[in-house]
Structure 1
Amino acid sequence: MNTKLHAICDSNGRPISFFVSAGQVSDYIGARALLSSLPDVDWLLGDRGYDADWFREALQDKGIRACIPGRKQRKTTVKYDKRRYKRRNRIEIMFGRLKDWRRVATRYDRCPKAFFSAIALAATVIYWL
């Protein structure tokens, strides 16, 4: 079973919120699930997979500015702050720190609930280190 982990982290790269979806599911599902748990921030740095007009509008309604590059097949180009987007490496570092936990990296658990529990345990430790 493939899974996709959607995450929100703070500016220090500490995990805040997670959502696990099936691997073949679009990133829009994770964006919709995590939208209500977004903290009060000024900017959201996201991957190309989260580029959708409805998501950008929802962020704007919450008072959050989006720094998400447009998808390649998008007809109209979207402006984003390239210098700010380079800071997105913090969430990649957080995923790397999660994968330091062998149980998370190799996905021993078949049950999604048990896998998510292992992620939550690893994230709790990472948050306080």
Structure 2
Amino acid sequence: MSDLLWLSEAQMRRIEPYFPLSHGVPRVDDRRIISGIIFVIRNGLRWRDAPADYGPPKTIYNRFIRWSRLGVFNKIFAALAAKGGKPDQLMIDATHLKAHRTAASLLKKGMFPDVSDAPRAA
């Protein structure tokens, strides 16, 4: 595949300080695994559909889960966002949000509080 995503050496140097220390067994190549995580998430793939160039899908998945629980990615995002300065504009994309089909009936059943000032229908 020619459209694979690989982090550059400069990008890796910026995020490496936030990686947890390796305990005992050396980790698999960080650049390859992090690039695989970004590729899978960016393209909306299942972990098992990750290209083989990034390594075993189980390794990519395990690293993502372990580092997510440790807050590694949150620290990286916060640090990179802080260096970017204050944004001129904020946008919210909610195209992926869906309500369950029973959500519409929650108000009628009294399970969801009515916070609007509109009069109730009879």
TM-score (norm 1): 0.28
Bigger relative CO (Cα 8 Å, ≥ 6 apart): 1
Greater strand fraction, Structure 1 or Structure 2: 1
